[in-house]
A and B are shown apart, each in its own frame.
Chain A
Amino acid sequence: MISLENIVKEYHTRLGPRRVLDNVSFQLERGRNIGILGCNGAGKSTLIRLLSGAERPTSGRIRREMSVSWPLAFGGAFQTHLTGLDNLKFVCRVYGVDYKPLVPFVEEFTELGVYFREPVMHYSHGMLTRLAFALSIAIEFDCFLIDEAMVVGDVRFHERCHVEMFHKRKDRAFILVSHDANVIKLYCERASVLHEGRLYHFDNVDAAYDFYMDELGMRHAKRVIEV
């Protein structure tokens, strides 16, 4: 299980502290999933950073009783001088996994060919994304963190990610954040909406969807009136 209790996250700005997450709480059981809907700037990425452990909350507690991945397809930790294989080795060392049995899968999925053993600085954007995705699913986590905005690519890549993540690993838990209500509707069994730093819970995805659309609509309406 993973649980968040009254998480508050504030960032310092010149005009004083700015609260990005305000008393966010939720729980996720092993093998279950949750979608978190939010507009740009709602705090989705901050939530992912706290969940992955990259940053600490200002207050509140995060308990992880299952292994939690780093954000899916996050390639920011790549060193340009390292090869794809080096990066696989690094990640495996950090998580205490033998890298050798994983080489065939990563080579096959990334379709990098000879570039698998070339420095990452010679990779195209698509090659980087494929490598990043392959590495994050090569390690077997109980719960995956998915920031939908990070998994960008063509239709075929999306399809292969879909198969790897939602078919081959359908027994795993995941937390998916997105601004796209349709994505959440497609993959998640329940959903919450992150709005102005607060997390609103709903029994089913449709209720969350309606709330989200209303909020969007209201904001849009307000803006029209202000203009």
Chain B
Amino acid sequence: MSLLRSPEIVAFRRSLAVQRRVIGALLMREVITRFGRDNFGAMWLVFEPMLFTLGVAALWTAAAMNHGSSIPIVAFAVTGYSSVLLWRNCASRCSMAIEANLSLMYHRNVQAIDVFFTRILLEIAGATASFIILSVIFIVIDWMTFPVDLGKVLGGWLLLAWFGASLALLIGAGTAYSHVVEKLWHPAAYLLFPMSGAAFMVDWLPDTLQQVVLLLPMVHGVELLREGWFGNTVRTHYDAGYMATCCLILTWLGMHYVREAGRKLESR
């Protein structure tokens, strides 16, 4: 008990309360400013990724993409494209986020990290809700099967969310340092999509290419998620430990640069 009342712990809990309050305030503000109050309002947070995923599922079905396995194309698209949106939207929304919220820093308690956390939370919530709603609809109309191992699906999803959050911190802080980061992020995001494991299974690739693709952390998350969903009907290649290590390093780098960016911030 005495530990809980030590000055450091008390100060930490007070800071935590302030941060929770600020992020709560930013969440409300962000939702209204981004989606407005007209028509569906905040529901767009979920509709947007849903429309993306549905569109991609329809395209892939129409193109009758040869994916050389027994997985139905819609299930393949929903699991794959939802995963991409989860990490890519986090990072894209945090790009230039400080600049867009610079004037808020006049309120001392609003810090760069709060702006990033708010946007990351919203993106993860939107992508997750979209994934769940689409899955439920397709399971009900029998276009998708129920996941074989819900635990693995959840594990893969959480790892992808963590990857998205850590990447977002790094990209967000990077764009505050230099606009070059923002310029580079767009082509990088575009080029990473076909390599991210969303549109293929690692097992379909030749051995040498497998080694290269498995260097990308998000590939492991998608593979884990699909193993959880489709079970033994697919052969997967992943290492959750490798992905977690990558995320840990990215998180550390992200937090470090967010703090540095906060220090050199110039408001106007």
Contact = CB atoms under 8 A, between A and B. Distances in A.
Q: How large is the interface on B (under 10, 10 to 19, 20 to 34, 35 or more residues)?
A: 20 to 34
* Secondary structure class of chain B's binding surface, majority of residues: helix
A54 B33 contact: no
Interface of A: 11, 49, 52-56, 68, 70-71, 74, 76-77, 79, 81-82, 86, 89-91, 93-96
B21 interface: yes
Interface string B239-268: 000000000000000000000001111110
A103 B68 CA distance: 63
Contacts of B18: 96
B110 interface: yes
A11 B267 CA distance: 12
Interface string B83-115: 000000000000000000001111111100000
Nearest to A89: B28
Interface of B: 18, 21-22, 24-25, 28-29, 32-33, 36, 103-110, 262-267
A81 B33 CA distance: 5
Contacts of A68: 108
A94 B105 CA distance: 11
B264 to A, nearest CB: 8
Contact of A55 (B33, B103, B265): B265
Contact of A54 (B22, B28, B267): B267
A71 B25 contact: no
Closest 8 A/B residue pairs (Cβ):
A53-B108, A93-B25, A76-B103, A54-B267, A77-B103, A70-B106, A54-B106, A54-B105
B169 to A, nearest CB: 19
Contacts of A94: 21-22, 25, 107, 109-110
A17 to B, nearest CB: 12
B159 to A, nearest CB: 32
Contacts of A96: 18, 21
Contacts of B265: 54-56
A102 to B, nearest CB: 15
Nearest to A75: B103
Contacts of A56: 262-265
B104 A93 contact: no
B32 A81 contact: yes
